[in-house]
Amino acid sequence: MQPNLLASIHTSTLTSFPTPHNRWRLSVAPMMDWTDRHCRYFHRLLTKNTLLYTEMINAGAIVHGDVPRHLRFNTEEHPVALQLGGSEPDKLAQAAKIAEAWGYDEVNINCGCPSERVQKGAFGACLMAEPDLVADCIKAMLDAVKDPVKTPITVKHRIGINKTEDTPEGYAFVRDFIGTVADAGCQTFIVHARNAWLKGLSPKENRDIPPLRYEIVHQLKADFPHLNIAINGGLTTNVQIAEQLSVLDGVMVGREAYHNPWLLASWDKTFFASSVRPELVEGSASEITRESIESQMVSYMEREQALHGTPWATIARHMLGLRHGLAGSRRWRQVWSNHRLKNMHPRDVMALAHDDMREAD
């Protein structure tokens, strides 16, 4: 990555939540069983500006179920986006209206998940084959929310779908999908730069086997310069992020953010200044420490236990990558993931984890 390229990547200076044209600059992907409110609280300690997404939540569960259980979040999580699964415009509209009332900063429709369970519910990646239906969903949701600028409706999808290994979709497929959905009022698309195989691959295999084709997403931005186009898939370093931001409006990082969360600690100073800072792209720009983050998480565990009876282990599982790559990290993780210690106070668990870590050095 050349310094002159990095210097050309600009964003507005942030004084509060990112403005609509740059709020998708960096985000952490919605990940089932991972990006719950405890995970998002942890990530927010590491980065103040990055957009955080919920796990995918079925719109019907919000409309007909326990709303607080599905939508409760910590005020510290802002900016935070709700991802919905569904294909019925009326239910998605109701869910979007409820989400806006709860204070979410965005509502996103999942058109990218390839799992068979999701397909049976007639949503996820299979919706890419029905752009008119997705457009109807977008229209209904935009009509339902009071302020679509403050609470935008967005779509996350793949670059195409394969119904079988031998029937890949070409570029025109995703181009026409975006064109149809954009005509309904959607202005922001987060594009996973892989095809989704609807049969023959597991969700995990669908994240690894279909080849990454970043050039497709770049072409989409060239063809739709007035839209916000963010990219997702296979991005694990700040150098890669900076390269994509030289072409696109945003980058969404998934599993690397979860397994190596300290990466997030460099993002505010590296990517959310008046321009990208080339000298920081390959290093850490953080003034916080792993120890301070861990201590704040213990305070959060204490609070959650007092308010909601949440076991500390339910929260601690999300921070097991905090010391990724450091000496003694394995021993530290073993203590925090040891459920035989569940009756101990989390501060005592933290002390034990640090004792074991020092012994391993």
CA distances for 211 relative to 154, 158, 194, 216, angstroms? 25, 12, 6, 12
CB atoms within 10 A of CB 140: 19
Question: d(Cα 38, Cα 45) in Å, to the nearest integer?
Answer: 11
Could you identify the residue written with the tokens 């935070």? 80
Could you identify the residue written with the tokens 């459920």? 339
Q: Would you call 197 helix, strand, or coil by DSSP?
A: strand
CB atoms within 10 A of CB 266: 20
Q: Which residues are catalytic?
A: 113
Q: Does residue 242 contact residue 1 with C-beta atoms inside 8 Å?
A: yes
Q: Would you call 13 helix, strand, or coil by DSSP?
A: coil
Range 286-294, long-range pairs (CB < 8 A, 24+ positions) = 286/46, 286/262, 288/45, 288/46, 290/262, 290/322, 290/323, 290/326, 293/42, 293/45, 293/46, 293/265, 293/319, 293/322, 294/319, 294/322, 294/350
Q: Which among 46, 49, 67 is positioned nearest to 58, based on CA atoms?
A: 67
Question: d(Cα 21, Cα 353) in Å, to the nearest integer?
Answer: 43
Q: Does residue 288 contact residue 265 with C-beta atoms inside 8 Å?
A: yes
Q: Which among 83, 28, 80, 105 is positioned nearest to 267, based on CA atoms?
A: 28
Q: Which among 240, 248, 250 is positioned nearest to 22, based on CA atoms?
A: 250
